[in-house]
A and B are shown apart, each in its own frame.
Chain A
Amino acid sequence: MTTPTTPATPATPTTSAPRELAIAATGLRKAYGDKTVLDGIDLAVPAGTVFSLLGPNGAGKTTAVQILTTLIGADAGELRVGGHDLASAPDAVRAAIGVTGQFSAVDNLITGEENMLLMADLHHLGRREGRRVTAELLERFDLVEAARKPASTYSGGMRRRLDIAMTLVGEPRVIFLDEPTTGLDPRSRHTMWGIIRELVAGGVTVFLTTQYLDEADELADRIAVLHGGRIVAQGTAEELKRLVPGGHVRLRFTDPVAYESAAAALRDAVRDDGALSLQIPSNGSQRELRAVLDWLDAAEVEADELTVHTPDLDDVFFALTGSTTAADSTTSDSTTSGSNAGSTAPAARTAADSTADSKETVR
C-alpha cells in the first residue's frame, strides 16, 4: 500500500446475513397525467433499520410514501411492506404500519388527549389500556400540559409530536415519516431527531423522507437519493460520500525544504507551491491518515498543519443531481488539533431551516 487514494467503490448494498425486508419495492412507477413522478424505482429496507429517501421539493418523496402506505395506488411495481403485498393485502399492510405524513394528520377540533384516545379506540384497545397508552405517550412526547387543549392551538412542533404519538398507538413495526422536521425550528428539529433515534432503538423500521442531507446523515442506515423520478444513488452515508471525489488530506508547511521533501515522498500529492501545501486524495479514514503520517515519518518531515477534508452529502447531492438542496453546500473541514481527525461532524445548518416550507396545507 503505497499511495492512499479514494477508493471508487460503487455504493452497493452491504450484504450481511440475509435479513427480512420490511419494505421491498421493485419497478415502482407512478405518473400524474403525463408527468412521471416515479419512474421505476427499487427499494429494499431491512427490518429494524432506518432508511432515508432524500430528494429536493417535488422529487416524489411524498408520492412514494403515499403509495407504500396504501393511501394511493401505484401504476406499476411489485410492492411489499411488513411482509404483505400492497395490492392483494392492503389491510394487512395497514395493520403493520404507522404513518406520519408530510401534512399534519391530527383532528384539530378535539384535544390532544382525545386524538390519542381516538387512536386507541380505532386500534381496539380496551378502555383502561387505551388510557394507559395515551398517558404514556403524552408523557413521552412532552404533551401532558397541552393534553386538554384543542390541537388547533398547538405549535408546529407540538402538532408534529402529537402526530407521531398518534402514529405509535398501535405499536406499528414499520413507521413512515414524511419530512418530519420540515418547518420546525432547529430546537424542535433536534428533539425530533432524538425521538426518531428512540424509535429505532425500539427495533422498528423507519422510512424517513427528508430534504436535508445532514438529517439523512444523522439518522439513516441507508440513504437513497431520489432525482428525476429515479434513485440516482443508494447506500450508507459513507458509501455515498465515497462516490464523490474531493476527500483529501491537506498538509501545510512553513519550511520550503520540508515541503519539497514531503512532495518528493508523497508523489500522489497535488502541489500548491505558493501556499506550500500538499493535497493528498483520501477518504479521511484512520487507516489512510496513518499511511500519510507513516510516509511523513519515513521521509522525516513534519507538517505544520494537517487538515482532513471530507465530502459531505451536499457534495454528493451536488455531484449526482447538479443542484444543491440546502443553502449551505460547503464541505466540512476539521483540523487535526488532536483527536477529531476524520470526523464528519455535520454543521448545524440553520440556513436550511429558514428556507423550510412551514405551510401546513391539506389536499
Chain B
Amino acid sequence: MSSSLSLTVRDSSTMLRRNLLHARRYPSLTLQLLLTPVVLLLIFVYVFGDVMSTGLGGHADRSAYIAYVVPGILMMTVGGASLGTAVSVCTDMTEGIIARFRTMAISRGSVLFGHVAGGVLQVMISVVLVIGVALAIGFRTDATPLEWLAAAGLTALVGLALTWLAVGIGLSSPNAEGASNTGLPLMVLPLLGSAFVPVDSMPGWFRWFAEYQPFSPFIETLRGLLLGDAIGKNGWLALGWAVALTVLGWMWSTSLFNRDPSSR
C-alpha cells in the first residue's frame, strides 16, 4: 500500500515535471488565460468603476469598488487557469506518448495527477500575479496573515476542484477547441455570480441562480477573508462545493481515462 503510494507520488511528480516543461516551452496559453482577468479588472475598475460602484449602495467610490471586485476577479483567474488545463489535457491525449504511458508499468493515475498538480500550480501563480496587479492599481486589504493563509487555502481548494473538472472536460472533448468551449463556464460563471455586483441587485430568477451557483460562496468567502466582511454560511458552502466538485471531477476523469481506448 505504502509502496504503491510512493510509486504514485514519484510517477506523478515526473508527470508534473513534464507538464511544467510544456508550460515553460509554450507559455502562450497560460499567458492568454491570465490576460483575461487582468484586462477585465482594469476595465471594470477604470471604465465601469464609477457606475458599478453605485450598485454597492451607500456612497461607495472607486477604491471601494476595487476592493469589491478583486475577489471575483481572483476566482475568475482560478477558473481561467483551470480552463487552460482542460485545453492542455485534451491536446496531450492526442499525443502518441500517452499510448506509451499506458503500456508502461507506471502508476495508472500519474498522468492525470501530474496534470492536476500542474494545473493547481498554475492557478496559484496566476492568482499571485493578478493580486500583484490589483495591489498596483490601489487594492488595499487589512487581512491578517492567518486570513491570507485561509484565502490561499481556499484558492488552492477551489483550484483543485475546478482543475479536476477541467481534466474531465479535456478528456471528454474531441479537440482543443471543443475543450475550451466546454470549459468556458469555468471562466464565465464568476461573472454570473457576485463577482461584480451584489446578488441582491439582480432580477429574481437570475438572483436565485447567482446565489446558489458554486462561485458565489467561493467569492463571498474570499471577500470575507480579504475584506473582513461577514462570511457566515458561505464558508461551509464553499468548502462543501469544493470538496464535492473535486470528488466528482476526480471520479469522472479517472473513469474516462481508464476506459478501454478501443471501446470508443
A: residues with CB less than 8 A from B are: 30, 32, 63, 66, 69-73, 91-92, 94-95, 97, 99, 101, 103-110, 114-115, 118, 121-122, 124, 150, 166, 170, 362-363
Contacts and interface: CB of A to CB of B under 8 A. Distances in A.
A107 B103 contact: no
Given A94-B105, A99-B103, A107-B97, A363 B25 contact: no
Interface in B89-123: 94-97, 99-106
B262 A99 contact: no
Given A73-B262, A105-B96, A362-B96, A122 B14 contact: yes
Contacts of B62: none
Interface of B: 10-11, 14, 17-18, 21-22, 25-26, 94-97, 99-106, 260-263
A109 B105 contact: no
B100 A66 contact: no
A319 B231 CA distance: 81
A71 B103 contact: yes
A104 B14 contact: no
B258 to A, nearest CB: 11
A72 B260 contact: yes
28 contacts: A30-B262, A70-B103, A71-B99, A71-B102, A71-B261, A72-B261, A73-B260, A73-B263, A91-B105, A94-B104, A94-B105, A95-B105, A99-B103, A101-B100, A103-B99, A105-B99, A106-B97, A107-B95, A109-B21, A110-B21, A114-B21, A118-B18, A121-B14, A121-B17, A122-B14, A124-B10, A166-B100, A170-B104
A362 B11 contact: no
B104 to A, nearest CB: 6
A161 B10 CA distance: 27
Contacts of A30: 262
B102 A363 contact: no
Nearest to A70: B103
Task: Give the most central of A101, A109, A150: most B CB within 10 Å.
Answer: A109
A106 B96 CA distance: 6
Nearest to A110: B21
Given A70-B102, A72-B262, A99-B103, 13 more contacts: A30-B262, A72-B260, A73-B260, A73-B262, A91-B105, A95-B105, A105-B97, A105-B99, A107-B97, A110-B25, A122-B14, A122-B106, A363-B261
Contacts of B103: 69-71, 94, 97, 99
A150 B25 CA distance: 10
Contacts, number: 71
Contacts of A105: 96-97, 99-100
A107 B18 CA distance: 9
Task: Give the most central of B14, B97, B106: most A CB within 10 Å.
Answer: B97
Minimum-distance CB pairs A-B, first 3: A72-B262, A105-B100, A95-B105
Contacts of B97: 105-107, 115
B25 to A, nearest CB: 6
Given A32-B262, A72-B260, A108 B95 contact: yes
B262 A66 contact: yes
Contacts of A170: 104
Given A70-B102, A110-B22, A103 B96 contact: yes
B26 A109 contact: yes
B131 to A, nearest CB: 30
Task: Give the most central of A70, A118, A166: most B CB within 10 Å.
Answer: A118
B156 to A, nearest CB: 26
Contacts of A115: 97
A150 B260 CA distance: 30
Contacts of A121: 14, 17
A32 B263 CA distance: 8
Contacts of A70: 102-103
B3 to A, nearest CB: 12
Nearest to A176: B103
A166 B263 CA distance: 28
Nearest to A124: B10
A362 B95 contact: yes
A358 to B, nearest CB: 15
Contact of B11 (A99, A107, A122): A122
Contact of A101 (B94, B96, B106): B96
A97 B104 CA distance: 8
A229 to B, nearest CB: 15
Nearest to A63: B262
A95 to B, nearest CB: 4
Contacts of A362: 94-96, 99
Task: Give the most central of A99, A122, A170: most B CB within 10 Å.
Answer: A122
A122 B16 CA distance: 12
A109 B22 contact: yes
A95 B107 CA distance: 12
Contacts of A71: 99, 102-103, 261
A326 to B, nearest CB: 27
Contacts of B104: 94, 122, 170
A330 to B, nearest CB: 36
A66 B22 CA distance: 27
A91 B10 CA distance: 17
Nearest to A104: B96
A115 B22 CA distance: 12
Contact of A109 (B10, B25, B101, B102): B25
A101 B14 CA distance: 22
A118 B96 contact: no
Nearest to A169: B104
Task: Give the most central of B26, B94, B96, B102: most A CB within 10 Å.
Answer: B96
